[in-house]
Homo-oligomer: A and B are copies of this chain.
């Protein structure tokens, strides 16, 4: 059905120039007169010529792909609504640019560092997205060593030579606490995420700061790994305490939904007996009962902005940091004055 693909030789012959000149024109190298270049490109286009990415890669030393390494256990990644939406945003930019996304899912830090080394050694990607930033994040040093461009998703813990795209989630947590305080809650707990991750730590710190500012005890905090199972366990422990909270601020939506299930299983009315807030604004949060009061971010937009920033960084060696519109509180039915 398909005929032989046109080659550079075909283009050269049709344009009446040398193959070398065609190659220079197609790879946008200097030394080709603008008029000649335009004519060669027009002929190539007429013939339906497409560059081979493999050949382009060798001549330009780029792979026309970006990399994303996600460090999560296979068993927990399915419950996280962030990555599919983030990836969809990245793809919406890359597909316009003819770029591919190379994805790795790895279980631990050793496998994670190996994944970056392999991506670089294989010249597989031109740059990488760094997600789930950590306080002692070995990736920054490794990537500098490897000479691999990167964009960080979130504000790094220390000064690094990579641009970042960050979301201010502190204002969202502060808004959730403020909303609960204004409803009359005094015993407010926090089911925190993974404290080795910067965003897990920052949400916890924001919680403590907001509680202290309201003159309230900020000690009811339980750390988790962000999974639904640990979110449910943390909720049970909080409700078993001598002075159980009247409200719980969760660090993500899946844990909040699990906490809602635990409360209802115990016969508690949400929000009558217990108010609950999530973080993500995930689709499902609008459809559970009662609909979840949550802090909305826009992971699709985050993906779009991160992709544009990384493409800039790859192309020019420098890109500006971006601060996304802050996460905002979306009040639904899972919060009310304490009974």
Identify the A interface with B (CB < 8 A): 1-2, 50, 52-55, 57-58, 63-65, 72-85, 87-89, 91-92, 95, 98, 100-106, 111, 115, 118-119, 121-124, 145-146, 227-229, 231-232, 254, 257-258, 260-265, 282-284, 286-291, 299-300
Give the nearest-CB partner of A114 in chain B: B95
Q: Is the CB of B282 within 8 A of A265?
A: no
Q: What separation, in Å, do the CA atoms of A119 and B87 have in the docked complex?
A: 18
B2, B58, B76, B124: the one contacting A283 at CB < 8 Å is: B76
14 interchain pairs, CB-CB under 8 A? A1-B145, A2-B146, A52-B123, A54-B63, A55-B58, A65-B102, A77-B85, A78-B88, A91-B106, A95-B104, A101-B104, A102-B102, A102-B103, A228-B284
Q: How far does the Cβ of A129 sit from chain B's closest Cβ, in whole Å?
A: 12
Give the nearest-CB partner of A90 in chain B: B105
Chain B hits for A91, CB < 8 A: 74, 103-106
Q: What separation, in Å, do the CA atoms of A78 and B301 have in the docked complex?
A: 13
Q: How far does the Cβ of A81 sit from chain B's closest Cβ, in whole Å?
A: 4
B100, B105, B122, B232: the one contacting A53 at CB < 8 Å is: B122
Copies of this chain, how many?
A: 2
Q: What separation, in Å, do the CA atoms of A52 and B123 have in the docked complex?
A: 7
Q: Is the CB of B145 within 8 A of A124?
A: no
Chain B hits for A111, CB < 8 A: 95
Q: Is the CB of B105 within 8 A of A102?
A: no
Q: What separation, in Å, do the CA atoms of A74 and B94 have in the docked complex?
A: 14
Chain B hits for A105, CB < 8 A: 84, 87-88, 91
Q: Is the CB of A257 within 8 A of B64?
A: no
Chain B hits for A287, CB < 8 A: 228-229, 231-232, 257-258, 261-262
Q: Is the CB of B81 within 8 A of A85?
A: no
Chain B hits for A63, CB < 8 A: 54
Chain B hits for A263, CB < 8 A: 289
Q: Is the CB of A100 within 8 A of B95?
A: no
Q: What separation, in Å, do the CA atoms of A104 and B98 have in the docked complex?
A: 11
Q: What separation, in Å, do the CA atoms of A251 and B87 have in the docked complex?
A: 25
Q: What separation, in Å, do the CA atoms of A263 and B55 have in the docked complex?
A: 58
Q: How far does the Cβ of A187 sit from chain B's closest Cβ, in whole Å?
A: 23
Give the nearest-CB partner of A303 in chain B: B74
Q: How far does the Cβ of A98 sit from chain B's closest Cβ, in whole Å?
A: 7
B53, B85, B257, B291: the one contacting A284 at CB < 8 Å is: B257
Chain B hits for A81, CB < 8 A: 78-79
Q: What separation, in Å, do the CA atoms of A287 and B260 have in the docked complex?
A: 9
Chain B hits for A92, CB < 8 A: 74
Q: Is the CB of B145 within 8 A of A2?
A: yes
Chain B hits for A102, CB < 8 A: 65, 100-103
Give the nearest-CB partner of A232 in chain B: B287
Q: Is the CB of B52 within 8 A of A122?
A: yes
Chain B hits for A87, CB < 8 A: 77, 103, 105
Q: What separation, in Å, do the CA atoms of A118 and B98 have in the docked complex?
A: 8
The 9 closest A-B pairs by CB, nearest first: A74-B88, A53-B122, A264-B289, A258-B287, A78-B85, A78-B81, A261-B289, A91-B105, A77-B84
Chain B hits for A76, CB < 8 A: 283
